[in-house]
Structure 1
Amino acid sequence: MKIEGAVLEILMSGGWLMVPIIACSIVSLAIIGERFWSLNSEKILPRELVSSVWSLHKANQLDNSKVRSLSNSSPLGRVLAAGIINQSHGREIMRESIEEVGRQVAHELERYLNSLGTIASITPLLGLLGTVIGMINVFAAITANGVGDPTVLAGGISQALITTASGMSVAIPSLMFYRYFRGKVDELVIKMESEALKLVEMMHGERE
């Protein structure tokens, strides 16, 4: 309880700017957790999906119901289904369909990442604003009471340091995970398009 009370006291010493900083930290944690769950490679790129689709194609079992089921199964399935639907229109049309749906899927995989990037950008600024407000309070105290009593200045200095440290503590991990998830999305999109184009080449006899 003593530790919790000390932490609460420190947070309260940071002033009202701690409220948006804490809110940003909660939102950031929620986004990071959700993206870890959603950007699971096995969910997005199921193993052996291309080979199973190819087996169905060779057996002439890729009817409309199976293509719809494929489209709803995973992001990769959605990209593959886009190509299969247009297989009668030739290789180039299949490629264009795959690329178009791939861009849509990529946009969906990037969900909430802009918000995470925004948090990484604004929390240091909130901390800096807290620093400025804290220093204003320090100079106001100096003007009113002089510099003889250090305790008069402690409140403003404490606010300046706490908000700065809090803002950076939220911004650093948010930026790290933002970069990580952006890289992961790019990697997943490249793999999806590669798997889909592999299927196109197999359907047109250009690959075994």
Structure 2
Amino acid sequence: MSILNMIFAQVPETVTDTVNIISETAATAPAEAAATTASMSVWELCLKGGFIMIPLAILLVVSIYIFIERYIVIRRADREDATFMKRIKDYIHDGEIDSAKLLCKKNGTPYARLILKGISRIGRPMNDVLVAIENTGNLEIANLGKGLTWLATTAAGAPMLGFLGTVIGMVEAFFALANAGSSANISVLAGGIYEALVTTVAGLAVGIVALFAYNALVARINGVMKLLEGKTMEFMDLLNEPAE
């Protein structure tokens, strides 16, 4: 009985000690986790990516600049004056060709330049007028699309460049592990691998930004193309209308 009493007497103390240990562990775990998380910021991760991060950063900055600059230009090109075609019609029917040309120059939009080209061809065969307008429209669309090649190349090339950085980092990690000798451990390899993977993440991020920017600009340019087509048809119908 005395032995059983001793065992039962120790049980509460053991349980109490276990609870205290768990409580201390639970209390210190968040602090340790916070310390670990705070010890590695995004900037520090970028610095660990190596020299490959430099061209990736350049690609990102240039892509953002092209997107903002092209977006502003395309947005201006998409601006439409509701009274423009009516005034052009009135000028042409009244024989005031110079006033119609002046209005187009003041408007300054791609569709106004299309109409200006068409007005300058009045008196020639209708097919010649249409061809001149279409050629001008193609030039306007090409001008709006400046920089899209860069965005498309960045969208495809940035992930590959990041993957190249990862391969280089993996080679360096295994080289360090091989040279570590008897002191080699998994932490040496793990550290090299996570640093190598930083460039893959960065390359994918830059590629995704460039891809979304490219698609957004293409969508806006398609809107401008539809506007130019509509204005072209409206102008050709205007030339075919009999004078009042």
- Does residue 70 of structure 1 match 2:104? yes
Q: Name the residue aligned to 1:170.
A: 206
* Cα separation, 2, equivalents of 1:119 and 1:68: 41
TM-score (norm: length of structure 1): 0.88
Distance 2:200 2:139 in 1: 39
CA deviation vs aligned residue, 1:86-109 (integer Å, no higher than 9, x gap)? 111021111101101011101001
CA distance in 2, matches of 1:66, 1:195: 15
Mapped pair 1:84 → 2:119: yes
Aligned length: 203
The one-letter code matched in structure 1 to 2:139 is Q
Determine helix, strand or coil for the equivalent of 2:223.
Answer: helix
Q: Distance in 2 between matches of 1:173 and 1:7?
A: 18
1-structure distance, mates of 2:50, 2:62 = 20
The answer on whether the counterparts of 1:130 and 1:163 sit within 8 Å (CA) in structure 2 is yes
Q: TM-score, normalised by structure 2?
A: 0.76
Aligned to 1:50: 85
Asked if 2 retains the 8 angstrom alpha-carbon contact of 1:13 and 1:158, the reply is no
Cα deviation, residue 60, structure 1: 2.4
8 Å CA contact 1:71–1:80 kept in 2: the answer is: no
SS at 2:161 equivalent = helix
The residue aligned with 1:153 is 189
Matching residue's letter, 2:81: R
User: Residue in 1 aligned with 2:215?
Assistant: 179
1:66 to partner: Cα distance: 4.5
Aligned to 2:228: 192
- Of residues 163, 168, 171, the one that matches 1:133 is 168
The answer (yes or no) to whether the contact 2:88–2:100 under 8 Å persists in 1 is: no
Compute the displacement of 1:135 (Å). 0.9
The corresponding residue for 1:22 is 57
Matched-pair contact (CA < 8 Å) for 2:141–2:225: yes
C-alpha separation in 2, matches of 1:93 and 1:101: 12
Question: Structure 2 residue aligned with 1:38, among 70, 73, 82?
Answer: 73
Does the CA contact (< 8 Å) of 2:145 and 2:221 recur in 1?
yes
Go from structure 1 to structure 2 and tell me whether the alpha carbon gap of 1:58 and 1:66 turns closer, same or farther (over 3 Å shift). Answer: closer
Alignment of 1:108-123 (within 5 A): 108-123=143-158
Give distance in 1, aligned partners of 2:103 and 2:160: 47
**Deviation at residue 190 of structure 1 after TM alignment:** 2.7
**Secondary structure in structure 2 of the residue aligned to 1:88:** coil
Counterpart-to-counterpart distance in 2, 1:24 and 1:205: 52
Whether 1:107 aligns to 2:142 is: yes
CA distance in 1, matches of 2:42, 2:93: 65
Shift of residue 71, structure 1, vs aligned partner:
4.0
Asked if 1 retains the 8 angstrom alpha-carbon contact of 2:78 and 2:223, the reply is no
Greater mean alpha carbon deviation, residues 6-15 or residues 16-25: 6-15
Question: What is the rounded CA distance, in whole Å, between the counterparts of 1:112 and 1:129 in structure 2?
Answer: 25
Residue in 1 that maps onto 2:13: none
Deviation at 1:182, TM superposition (A): 1.7
The residue matched to 2:97 in structure 1 has which SS?
A: coil
List per-residue Cα deviations over 1:109-137 (Å, max 9, x = no partner): 10111111111111101110011011101
Question: 3-state DSSP class of the match of 1:89?
Answer: coil
Return closer, same or farther for 1:134/1:11 CA change in 2, 3 Å cut-off: same
CA deviation profile, 1:24-77 (whole Å, cap 9, x unmatched):
11011111111221111x5444222222211222232221x6415514611111
